[in-house]
Amino acid sequence: MKISGAQAIIKALEEEGIKVVFGYPGGAVLPLYDSLLDSKIKHVLIRQEQNAVHSASGYARSTGGVGVCIATSGPGATNMITGIATAYMDSIPIVAITGQVSTDLIGKDVFQEVDITGATAPFCKHNYLVKNAQDIPGIVKEAFYIAATGRPGPVLIDLPIDVSKQLIEFDYPDQVDLRGYKPTYKGHHLQIKKFAKALKQSKRPVICAGGGVISSDASELLVKISESANIPVTTTLMGIGSFPDSHPNAIGMVGQHGNFAANNAISKSDLLIVAGARLGDRATGSLDKFAKNATLVHIDIDPAEIGKNISIDIPIVGDLRYVLEQTLKQDIARQDDYWIDIVREWKVKQGESKLNSGDNMTAEYILDVVSSIKDSDCIAVTDVGQHQIWAGRYLNIEKPGTFLTSGGLGTMGYGLPAAIGAKIANRDKQVMLITGDGSFQMTFNELATIVQEDIGIKIIIFNNNCLGMVRELQQHYCNGRYSQVFMRGNPDFVSLAKAYGIEGIKVDKKQDVEGAIKYGFSNDNTIVIEFLIDDKQNVLPVREEV
Gap between the Cα atoms of 515 and 435, Å rounded: 20
Contact string 190-229 vs ligand TPP (x = CB under 6 A): ----------------------------------------
| Residue 155: CB minimum distance to ligand TPP, A | 23
CB of 399 to ligand TPP, least distance (A): 25
User: For ligand TPP, which residue of 462, 493, 521, 531 counts as binding (CB under 6 A)?
Assistant: 462
Note whether 530 binds ligand TPP by CB under 6 A: no
Q: How far apart are CA 266 and CA 545, in angstroms?
A: 10
Does the protein bind ligand TPP through residue 468 (CB under 6 A)?
yes
Distance CA 148, CA 401 (A): 16
Least distance from ligand TPP to the Cβ atom of residue 362, Å:
13
Whole-angstrom CA distances from 545 to 259, 263, 277, 285, 346 are 9, 6, 22, 12, 10
Asked if 439 is part of the footprint of ligand TPP (rule: CB under 6 A), the reply reads: yes
> Per-residue contact track with ligand TPP, 10 to 49, x per CB under 6 A?
----------------------------------------
User: Prior bond to 244 cis, omega within 30?
Assistant: no
Closest among 405, 379, 445, 386 to 79, alpha carbons compared: 445
Least distance to ligand TPP from the beta carbon of 60, Å?
21
Query: Nearest distance from residue 354's CB to ligand TPP, in Å?
Result: 18
Among 16, 90, 319, 383, binds ligand TPP (CB under 6 A): 383
Give the range of 57-65, 258-266, 433-441, 446-454 binding ligand TPP by CB under 6 A.
433-441
437 contributes a contact to ligand TPP by CB under 6 A: yes
Among 67, 150, 258, 436, binds ligand TPP (CB under 6 A): 436
Q: Which one of residues 469, 497, 505, 528 is an interface residue with ligand TPP (CB under 6 A)?
A: 469
- Which stretches does DSSP call E strand in 87-148? 94-100, 126-129
Per CB under 6 A, 464 contacts ligand TPP: yes
Cα separations in angstroms, 34 against 101, 132, 324: 17, 20, 47
Is the CB of 82 or the CB of 242 nearer to ligand TPP? Answer: 82
Closest approach, Cβ 44 to ligand TPP, in A, equals 22
The window from 5-13, 51-59, 367-375, 463-471 that contacts ligand TPP (CB under 6 A) reads 463-471
Measured CA to CA in angstroms, residue 537 lies from 316, 364, 387, 456, 484 at distances of 41, 10, 10, 30, 18
Cα 181 from Cα 302, distance rounded (Å): 12
* 3-state helix/strand/coil string of 152-198: CCEEEEEEEHHHHHCEEECCCCCCCCCCCCCCCCCCCHHHHHHHHHH
Q: Out of 62, 98, 411, 426, which residue is the one contacting ligand TPP (CB under 6 A)?
A: 411
Amino acid at 495: S
Q: Give the SS3 label for residue 63.
A: helix
CB atoms within 10 A of CB 168: 18
CA angle 357, 346, 546 (to 5 degrees): 100
Would you state the torsion angle of the CA atoms of residues 224, 225, 228, 232, taken in this order, to the nearest 10 degrees?
-110
Choices 37-45, 351-359, 379-387, 448-456 (CB under 6 A): range interacting with ligand TPP? 379-387
Residue 270 vs residues 1, 202, 260, 340, 399: alpha-carbon distances, Å = 65, 6, 18, 13, 28
Q: Is 256 in the site for ligand TPP (CB under 6 A)?
A: no
Looking only at the bridges linking them, the beta strands covering 126-129 and 94-100 are unpaired
- Tell which one of 74, 211, 400, 438 touches ligand TPP (CB under 6 A): 438
The stretch among 84-92, 103-111, 280-288, 462-470 that binds ligand TPP (CB under 6 A) is 462-470
Q: Which residues bind ligand TPP (CB under 6 A)?
A: 383-387, 410-412, 436-439, 462, 464, 466-470
